[in-house]
Amino acid sequence: MSDLVYPASGTPEGEDVRYPPEAVFAVIGTGPAGPQGLQGIEGEKGEPGDTGPAGPIGEAGPAGVDGATGPAGPTGATGATGPAGSTLWNAGTVAALGAHLSLATGTLDATVQAQQWSAGTVTSVGATGVAISSGTITARTAARMQVEWPAGSVVNNGTVHVCWDPPYAGTINSMKHVCNTGSFTTAIQIAGTVVTGLSAITPSGTITTTNATAANTFTAGQAIDAVITSATTNAADATLSLNVTWAP
């Protein structure tokens, strides 16, 4: 028996104790590989590695759909009430009259739209006027139609419109007139017809009133004129004022 170890290279190592020492043994070659051993148990988990650098930012995604409409906000405060419009009255029946006019049916006639009402009860209204059972209705039918030449404005011969197209029918009652510089003569006409009593008026520096006596009524739309004659070159600072009553 020998203590020599024969590695795969065939060269023995250790003390040669062969008996006899000079004995020679053949070198044994590498044998076939043995079967694979069983897999060892899994080792412990190592420490986590350092975090890698951030990757590039990706492209933006598509826009989302619109959300639902939110609820309506509260209603704002009510604005101030505007001024009341004018009232046009036509034929009808009036139920009562107090602080304002209350209508049962229809509306009042247009001829009473310029009237001033006082407390009372209006029972009916027709084409010719208003009937009342109590209270009063005060008519406001007086009017003035005027033409004026202020100081520095020269009065020339010709025709001057005092009222070219009156809105209602009426009557010319009188004319108040004055001329502070120079002189002239005037005749008041209705649609070309001279008003009796106002056919040849010569105003002076004193304010004077002259009455109309005939041919002094007019219908709506008839022109009322002052025809000027015999005006001096310095006639100025003058006024003609017609006293008129509107027809009911």
- Which residue numbers in the chain have pLDDT < 50? 1-2, 87-100, 110-120, 127-128
Q: By CB neighbour count within 10 A (0-12 exposed, 13-18 middle, 19+ buried), where does 25 fall?
A: exposed
CA–CA gap between residue 76 and residue 3 (Å, rounded): 115
Q: Report pLDDT for 122.
A: 53
The percentage of the chain sitting over the pLDDT mark of 90, rounded to a whole number, equals: 43
Bridge partners of residue 122, in order along the sequence:
132
Q: Report pLDDT for 12.
A: 56
pTM: 0.49
Q: And the tokens for 112?
A: 């009473």
Bridge partners of residue 145, in order along the sequence:
242
Q: Report pLDDT for 93.
A: 47
Q: What's the gap between Cα 119 and its chain centre?
A: 38
Q: What letter does residue 138 receive in the DSSP assignment? A: E
Q: Report pLDDT for 165.
A: 95
Q: Report pLDDT for 119.
A: 43
CA–CA gap between residue 112 and residue 137 (Å, rounded): 10
- Tell me which CATH code domain 142-246 carries: 2.60.120.230
Q: Report pLDDT for 123.
A: 53
Domain boundaries, the chain: 92-138, 142-246
CA–CA gap between residue 5 and residue 8 (Å, rounded): 10
Q: Report pLDDT for 111.
A: 43
Q: Report pLDDT for 214.
A: 97
Residue among 173, 198, 181 nearest 232 (CA): 181
Q: Report pLDDT for 20.
A: 57
